Chain A
Amino acid sequence: MYEFITFLGDAAVIILIFATLSLSVNLQYGSTGIFNFGIVAFFMIGAYTLSFLELAGFPFTLALAAAIALSGVAGLLISLPALNLRGDFLSLATFMFAEIIRLLVLNVPSLGGAVGIARVPSAFQAIKVYSDLVAANIVLSLAVFLVFCVVYWAMISSPYGRVLKCIRENEMLAESLGKNTFRYKAQVFAIGSVMAGTAGAVYSQYLGFAGTELFTYSVTFMVYIMSIIGGSTTLLGALLGSFIYLSIQDFLRIAKNWVTIPVDPNNLAFILFGFATMLILYYRPEGIIREKLRQVKYPHGNPTP
């Protein structure tokens, strides 16, 4: 029973970390319409920055701050040239960028190389009991997720967020209303990168490890699938998508101890997600949780379109 609770706690930490990543997709893609297909690059930048600084002897808070700053700056720098591109080319350019970063780290031994960085100190070095460590990490990842939820909510439910939605629906219109759409998009890109970078920092200190195999482009795919399944336009959608994805994966992994399935549970999980993604995109493209659109009340009844 004790082990099972620890297992659930471990799952909760991972779910919260990926919910933060998914939230960054919801901000960039769901709310603003920027299809950033290189989200894993910023996840990785956060993880590696934290790992290096912690190993160099800096305290966790400083390393986390540096990870946040670096991923944000990287996001801003990438967004400046990339945002000039048409939507689908933007996605391909960011995708390539993520792959270049990964190859760079993979092949430069001083950056960790193929071995990765082992023994990244935990944020809670005083805690020696594993279950307490997991509990502390739940608090940390929950705090990170909640902070970004507040950021997301504050951005979306303000005039700022309405500009973002206008950019998503019709960028020309936003431009014609005098909004500097490029600046809005660059800001969103940078804030989304900060979210991903922070998630990466928490992830690597929790695992005690940072390696290139954790940051392949399939992470980007996974996060987009979570976001689409849960609902890419809402705050809860990010959490729900991450929860559904990771809990089904874990459930199948446990289930194989009790029932014999003719299919390998890991394979089955991915096959199911693949089909679920296609079905949801076809039957419910906004995801499980839909965006509540503001109803405008006209004094003389709604105008006919």
Chain B
Amino acid sequence: MAIAELLPQLLFNSVVSGSVFALATVGFSLTYSILKFPNIAQAAFITFGAYFAYTISSVWMFGFASGILAAFLATGILGALSYAVIFRPLGRKVSGFVAPTVASVGYGLALTFIIQQIWGRDLLLFSTIFDAFSFGPFRTNWLWNTTIVFTLIVVVAMHYMLARTKFGAAMRGTSSNPDLVRASGIHIDRVIIFVWFLGSALAGVAGVFLAGQNGVAPVLGSNMLVTVMAVAIFAGVGSFYGVIAAAYILSFAQNLSIPILLSIGQPSFYSIAVAYAVVIATLLFFPRGISGTGPKLELLIAKMRKVV
């Protein structure tokens, strides 16, 4: 009975946290599919975005919105620079995924502790306070509303870009067959730099949304790292639409399992453990993730049509 009453709010909360998951994961997933290594430094990008927005909005008092914008630009530039200065030369020199992965570990470490050196270890709270109010059946606040609207805009814009523009076609091509794209005379490097810019920028904004609620500390990004990996794997690496779906599914599963677990007398942490276990199962049984099942479903439907 309790669950039925809570359901609308749970759904709403899942949409909010799912939006943050999606923003944080897009870059990880796209760069993974293009450069074939998991970029651990994504966690540091999330933290950096949050701190940068903190300085702009709460120290220099430009307001929360300009904090988001500044974090978007600054983290994007940081990401693009990281690719140009570190991962591009490394990828040209060393083959395999291990070297760039460990390099991204080292880079993330350095970045996190540079951040810690600049801003300190303590939890910093944004000066903007978001008051909760009722909106239909939901309790919400402007931070959450902004999160949802921002993610919606990103999804629509990305969809338009990927589906309708030539640049988007180049992006899709780059992640599925880079050699072919290069052979067609497209500057693949520009595409990759743009993907790094966009992915890091969105991660930075995700950091701002996370920090707006509970404040920002150096561990903000690394606490998200496992979730980011989980969403990326569950989605099937490299699929933008998969990431969006997986983010909402995982966050919904997590949010919904909390009252269910509590009602049967189990500690609520299992919701996270269950989510990770689902991800490991995904890896073991259909490593292409949920986006990889799409073509299979289409094939199945086509076969059924023939039979019918």
Give residues in A with beta carbon < 8 Å to B.
29, 35, 81-82, 84-89, 91-93, 95-97, 99-100, 103-104, 106-108, 217-218, 221, 224-225, 228, 263-264, 267-268, 270-271, 273-278, 281-282, 285
A265 to B183, CA, bound (A): 49
Let me know if B142 is at the binding interface, CB within 8 A.
no
A35 to B38, CA, bound (A): 13
A79 to chain B, nearest CB (A): 13
Q: Are A88 and B37 in contact (CB under 8 A)?
A: yes
In the complex, chain B residues whose CB is within 8 Å of the CB of A103: 269, 272-273, 276
Contact pattern, B 222-249, Cβ under 8 Å of A = 1, otherwise 0? 1001100110010000000000000000
Residue of A81, A95, A224 near B102 (CB, 8 A) is A224
Q: Are A274 and B109 in contact (CB under 8 A)?
A: yes
A-B pairs with lowest CB-CB distance, top 3: A274-B110, A277-B106, A107-B269
Q: With contacts A100-B273, A282-B93 known, is A86 near B113, CB below 8 A?
A: no
B143 to chain A, nearest CB (A): 27
In the complex, chain A residues whose CB is within 8 Å of the CB of B114: 267, 271
Name B109's closest neighbour in chain A (CB-CB).
A274
A285 to B111, CA, bound (A): 21
Name B233's closest neighbour in chain A (CB-CB).
A92
In the complex, chain A residues whose CB is within 8 Å of the CB of B40: 221
Name A280's closest neighbour in chain B (CB-CB).
B106
Q: Are A85 and B283 in contact (CB under 8 A)?
A: yes
In the complex, chain B residues whose CB is within 8 Å of the CB of A267: 113-114, 116-117
Max chain A Cβ within 10 angstroms of own Cβ: one of B99, B106, B112: B106
Q: Are A100 and B97 in contact (CB under 8 A)?
A: no
A267 to B233, CA, bound (A): 32
Q: How many A-B contacts are there with CB distance less than 8 Å?
A: 124
A257 to B108, CA, bound (A): 28
Residue of A89, A221, A274, A285 near B283 (CB, 8 A) is A89
Give residues in B with beta carbon < 8 Å to A.
36-38, 40, 86, 89-90, 93-94, 97-99, 101-103, 105-114, 116-117, 222, 225-226, 229-230, 233, 267, 269-270, 272-273, 276-277, 279-280, 283-284, 287
Residue of B105, B107, B267 near A108 (CB, 8 A) is B267
A35 to B101, CA, bound (A): 10
Q: Are A273 and B272 in contact (CB under 8 A)?
A: no
In the complex, chain B residues whose CB is within 8 Å of the CB of A225: 102, 105-106, 109
Q: Are A96 and B106 in contact (CB under 8 A)?
A: no
In the complex, chain B residues whose CB is within 8 Å of the CB of A95: 226, 229
Q: Are B101 and A88 in contact (CB under 8 A)?
A: yes
B206 to chain A, nearest CB (A): 19
A-B contact pairs, 11 of them (CB 8 A): A87-B98, A88-B38, A88-B97, A89-B283, A99-B226, A268-B113, A271-B114, A274-B108, A277-B103, A277-B105, A278-B86
Residue of A97, A263, A270 near B109 (CB, 8 A) is A270
In the complex, chain A residues whose CB is within 8 Å of the CB of B267: 107-108
A82 to B106, CA, bound (A): 25
